Chain A
C-alpha cells in the first residue's frame, strides 16, 4: 500500500521558508518551520511551477487527469503520518462541480505523476486573486483566523475542494463547520425555522453579518452587527412595512418607532453602547417569536429581559403587586412594555407619556380612573396638564403595593408623607382628602353624596321653574305684540330708542 511520508523540509519548502522570512520577519519563524507554507494567500512565487521544476529536475510533464486518477481513484488511498485521511478523488464529483472541465493540474499546479511528497495546498488565488484580496479585509482572512488550526479559514473550508459549488448555494451548514453553537441557536430561531420552511426572505448568516469574505466581527465599528449599526441592519428587512405585512409581523413600523424611542435615540444620537439595540431584547441567533415561551420577549420573560440593563427597576418591580401577580401567573398584570411600550419607549418626563400613562392604568383600573377624573387632579390632567398628581405620584410606579401593605405610599400610615411631596404643608387632616371621591356612591362618602343630590335638585329645580317661566313669557310677549287680548297699551309719542337719532 503506497504511503507518502511527511518528511524533512524539501527544497521548495526551504525556499518558501526563506521567502516567508523576508516577507513577515522572524516573529513567526518557528510556526513557519513547523507547519510549512500552509497559507493559500501566500505570494505565488513560492509555489510557482518554474521553481518547482528547478528543484524537481523536471521528472515529468504536467500530468493528465488519467495519470492522477491512476492512484487517486483508489478509494483506500490514505495519507500517511499522524493526520491520516483519505486521498481518494471521485472524478464524478469533480465533473459535477463548479470546476467541471478543469484539469487536476489546474489547481494542483506542482503535481507530478506519481509524486512522493505532499503537495502544497491549492492556491485558489491563482485564479481568484480578487477574492483573495477582498478576504484580507474581513475577519475570515485575518491572521488570527489563519492561526485557528483545523478551523483556520481556508477557501476549501467553506467552498469545498473537488465538490466546489456555486457560492449562492452555500448554506448555514458551511458556517456551522466552525460556528456550530451559533448556527445551532439560529436553526431553532424564528429566522432559521422560516428558512427551513422554505421562506427565502428569512434572514440567514450573511443577511446580518454581511458577505463571508468581508465579514467583520461585531466589535468592529464597520460591522453590520456592531452595536450601533445593528438596528439599521435589522431594518434592511424590518424597516419595510411590506415585509412585515407579508410575514404577519404585528408591529409593521417597528424600525421607525424604535429609532424615535429613547433607546433608538441613545444609539443614533449619543452612540451609547449600553443602550438597548434590537438584539439586546430579542436576542441575536436565538430570536424567537414573542408567543414562544423560550423567547426573550415572551410575556413573562420581558421583565427579566429589561432587567438585564434596568436591574434596579426589576428588583423593585418583582416585589410590587404587579410583579408578584405576574410571577403568580397573571397574564393581565402589567409588565414593563404595557406601560412603557416596546419600541416606542419614551422618557418618563415626556408630557405626552405622562398623560397616556394615566389612561394606561385606567385600562385595568377603570373605576379608579373614573373617580380620579371626578377630582381636581384628574380634571387638570384631562385638560392635558401634568403639574398635578397622576397615578404614579401617589401610588408609585415600579414599587406599587396593595393599599393595606405598610410599604404602600397610599397606606394610611404613609399618606401625609405622600401628599407632602406636592403639598408641603400636608397634615393628618389634609390627608383625609379623597382623591377618588365618588359623589354617586352613598357608602363611600355619605355627606358628599347628599350634597351632590341637593345640588343636582337645586339645579334641576331652578332651571325647570325658570325654563318654563321663560318659555311662557316669551310666547306671551310675542302674542302680545301681535295684538293679544292683554297687550299693554302702546307707548305714546315714542319710537322706543330713537331719541338720540
Chain B
C-alpha cells in the first residue's frame, strides 16, 4: 500500500479515524452539537494534523532515529504537539484574524486529542515516507471532518425527535454513531483495501 491515492482513500473512507479506529471520540461527541461548530473543529483538526505529521516525522527521522532515542517517542511527540498548537494559536491570532476566529477556540482542545497523536504514531508504525505521511494526515483529517459534520446534522435532528428519556443524550448518540459505523463498514474491501 504505497500508492498515495490509495493511502488517501484508505484513511478517508475505509479506516475512518472516528468510526473504525476510535480515535478523537471526545470532540466527536463533545463538539458535534451543531453543524457550524463541527465544521470549525474539523478544519482545525485537518490543519493541526498535517502540521503535526510533518514536524513529528522530521523530529523522529532526523533526531530520534540517528541518536537511538526511539524510546523517547511518546514524551517527545506529545510535547512537540502541545508546543506546536500553542505556536499556531499565537501565530494565527496575530496574522490571520479571520482564520483564528473560525477555529481559534478549538485549538487548545486539540492538544490532548488522541486523533492527532495517534496519526503521528501510525505514520511511524507504517514507515511512511514524507509524502505518504502528508497524504495520510490530510485524508484522515478530511475523514474526521466529513463524519463530524454528518453526525452533527444527525444530532440536530435527534434533538427534535421524541425519544425515551433514558435514551436521550449520550445513549442515542452512541447508537446513531454505531449505525454510521455500520454504513462505513460497507466501504471495506473497496479497491482491495482492508
Answer yes or no: do A and B interact: no
- A interface, CB within 8 angstroms of B: none
- B interface, CB within 8 angstroms of A: none
